Amino acid sequence: MTMLTEPAGRSDGALAGSLALPGDYWELLKPRVMSLVVFTALAGLVVAPGHVHPVVALVSLLATAVGAGASGALNMAYEADVDALMKRTSGRPIPTGRVTSGEAYAFGGVLSVVSVMMIGIAANWLSAALLAFTIVFYALIYTVWLKRATPQNIVIGGAAGALPPMIGYAIVTNSVTLDSFILFAIIFVWTPPHFWALALLKSEDYAKAGIPMMPIAKGTARTRLEILLYTIVLVPLAMMPWVTGLAGAVYGAVALVSGAVMMWLAWRCYSVRVGPEADKAARNLFAFSILYLFLLFAVLLAERGLALAAHLGL
Amino acid sequence: MAVPKDRGIVLSPAQQRSRRARNVAIGLIIGLLVMIVYALTIAKLGSHVGDRAL
């Protein structure tokens, strides 16, 4: 008779004796990232011309969320050594020994295949291909290659986070158009100022883990300059849905005002470089960048929602 | 003389609770998957599924 002991630090993948709870597997899916993915994919789905059966839309969005979660699990499986070194990530299920890397690989791998098949069957194979590309790009190209190789890691890797609205759009139209590319580009260009503002605050953590984030590899001055440059591109880009007619005047006004705030905060981050004020400027930019992206996509959604309600006579 | 039976791996109570929770979660997910496939099939077939030449 063998009494299995606590699983912490085990490497045999003995599932029978695991203390992992469903919540630990849920945590592997990075639920907060998943909610952002669902939100932006929903925006892409709603603004797309045409219509789709609500059940198809719901299942496709669920598949998109599961696919994003699967790539998160694969990312955590590969990153366990680095996660253990950083304060922000040391409490994750693998570094704490609640789940093994092997279990996380299996979990992420199975969910990847299931999610891609599900969206392909429910919607179309273009959106399935886009989802598969997102998973491969995040789990392989970003996690395995870019993250530890170049300070441009989050610039290129940002493509994975930017694809969900394009997937949402493709669910309805079975196509990639200029409009869906604009939604992709907004998130793609938003990613560097957002993450570099965080990296300015957490650079010690990243240095300890040996990840060449921009502030460590190129210095904080260069990072602040690049944050400003990306924001200068981002703000007019965020106006494009209004210019092309994808969004209405309310979106245009919100993008203009919130873009002005974003510009101001990026300028503060660029110009205030020493002391607690510099940290505060980076923190303010990081916090507002989340609100900025949320506002843009929320207004896109609200405008279409109101138009639909009016169309239905509600 | 009787040879003691090997009872194999015996889980601790905490491990048993965790395994039960995982099994319940897997059961619920499979149930959800069945409902999704059913709903999707009905949605895709549409209301004219019966209108076909026999």
Tell me the per-residue pLDDT of A143-168, one tens digit each, with 9 for 90 and over. 999 988 899 888 998 999 999 999 99
User: Is residue A250 domain-shared with residue A196, that is, in the same domain?
Assistant: yes
User: Is residue A200 domain-shared with residue A300, that is, in the same domain?
Assistant: yes
Residue A18 lies in a domain: no
Residue A64 lies in a domain: yes
User: Is residue A88 domain-shared with residue A35, that is, in the same domain?
Assistant: yes
Torsions phi, psi of A2, nearest 5?
Answer: -125, 125
Which residue pairs, CB below 8 angstroms and at least 24 apart, start in A206-211? A206/A86, A208/A85, A208/A86, A209/A82, A209/A85, A209/A86, A210/A82, A210/A148, A211/A82, A211/A147, A211/A148, A211/A153
CB contact under 8 A, A4 and B9: yes
User: Is residue A182 domain-shared with residue A207, that is, in the same domain?
Assistant: yes
At CA A172, angle to CA A169 and CA A174, rounded to 5? Answer: 85
Highest average pLDDT, of A4-13, A76-85, A103-112, comes from A103-112
Give pLDDT, residue A125: 97
Percentage of the residues of chain A whose pLDDT score is greater than 90: 75
Tokens of A197: 């503002």
Spatial distance between the Cα atoms of A197 and A291, rounded to a whole number of angstroms: 14
Confidence of residue A209 (pLDDT cuts 50, 70, 90): confident
Contact list, B7 vs chain A (CB under 8 Å): 1
Q: Check pLDDT > 60 for residue A303.
A: yes
Residue A28 lies in a domain: yes
From A122, A154, A176, give the residue that closes a domain.
A176
Tokens of A296: 């843009």
Q: Check pLDDT > 90 for residue A14.
A: no
User: Is residue A139 domain-shared with residue A244, that is, in the same domain?
Assistant: no
Give yes or no for a contact between A289 and A258, defined as CB atoms under 8 angstroms apart.
no
CB contact under 8 A, A21 and B21: yes
Q: What is the four-CA torsion angle of A80, A106, A147, A271, rounded to 10 degrees?
A: -80
Confidence of residue A210 (pLDDT cuts 50, 70, 90): confident
User: Is residue A57 domain-shared with residue A166, that is, in the same domain?
Assistant: yes
Give pLDDT, residue A74: 97
Give pLDDT, residue B2: 64
Distance from the B16 Cα atom to the nearest Cα atom in chain A, whole angstroms: 8
User: Is residue A130 domain-shared with residue A264, that is, in the same domain?
Assistant: no
Contacts (Cβ under 8 Å, ≥6 apart) of A97 = A7, A8, A9, A10
Query: Which residues 9-48 of B have a C-beta within 8 angstroms of A?
Result: 9-12, 14-15, 18-19, 21-22, 24-25, 36, 39-40, 42-44
Residue A16 lies in a domain: no
User: Is residue A187 domain-shared with residue A171, that is, in the same domain?
Assistant: no
User: Is residue A31 domain-shared with residue A90, that is, in the same domain?
Assistant: yes
Looking at residues A16-25, what average pLDDT do you find?
Answer: 86
CB contact under 8 A, B18 and A53: no
User: Is residue A145 domain-shared with residue A211, that is, in the same domain?
Assistant: no
Give yes or no for a contact between A290 and A205, defined as CB atoms under 8 angstroms apart.
no
Q: Check pLDDT > 70 for residue A287.
A: yes
- Asked if A236 has any chain B CB less than 8 Å from its own CB, the reply is no
From A149, A176, A203, give the residue that closes a domain.
A176
- Asked if B54 has any chain A CB less than 8 Å from its own CB, the reply is no
Element (H, E) at B10: strand B9-10
Give pLDDT, residue A9: 41
Tokens of A224: 């602040």
Integer CA distances (angstroms), A13 to A10, A70, A307, in order: 7, 19, 53
Distance from the A60 Cα atom to the nearest Cα atom in chain B, whole angstroms: 10
Q: Which of B12, B18, B37 to mutate to test the interface with A (most CBs of A within 10 A)?
A: B18
> Sign of dihedral through CA atoms A137, A140, A143, A146?
negative
CB contact under 8 A, A1 and B7: yes
From A138, A160, A176, give the residue that closes a domain.
A176
Q: What CATH number does residue A99 fall under?
A: 1.10.357.140
Total tally of structural domains belonging to chain A: 2
Mean pLDDT of chain A: 91
Could you say which of B6, B36, B40 has the minimum Cβ distance to residue A1? B6
Contact list, B22 vs chain A (CB under 8 Å): 18, 20-22, 25
Give pLDDT, residue A232: 98
Integer CA distances (angstroms), B33 to A59, A62, B38, in order: 10, 11, 9
Element (H, E) at A2: strand A2-3
Contacts (Cβ under 8 Å, ≥6 apart) of B29 = none
Please report where in the chains the tokens 């009016």 appear, as a residue. A310
Torsions phi, psi of A89, nearest 5?
Answer: -120, 0
Residue A4 lies in a domain: no
Paired with B9 in beta bridges are A2
Paired with A3 in beta bridges are B10
Spatial distance between the Cα atoms of A138 and A68, rounded to a whole number of angstroms: 9
Give yes or no for a contact between A142 and A22, defined as CB atoms under 8 angstroms apart.
no
Give yes or no for a contact between A40 and A68, defined as CB atoms under 8 angstroms apart.
no
The more confidently predicted of residues A10 and A162 is A162
CB contact under 8 A, A55 and B39: yes
Residue A86 lies in a domain: yes
Residue A7 lies in a domain: no
* Amino acid identity for residue A162 in this structure: A
Residue A146 lies in a domain: yes
User: Is residue A88 domain-shared with residue A185, that is, in the same domain?
Assistant: no
- The domain of A209 spans 177-307
User: Is residue A118 domain-shared with residue A196, that is, in the same domain?
Assistant: no
| ipTM of this complex prediction, to 2 decimal places | 0.80
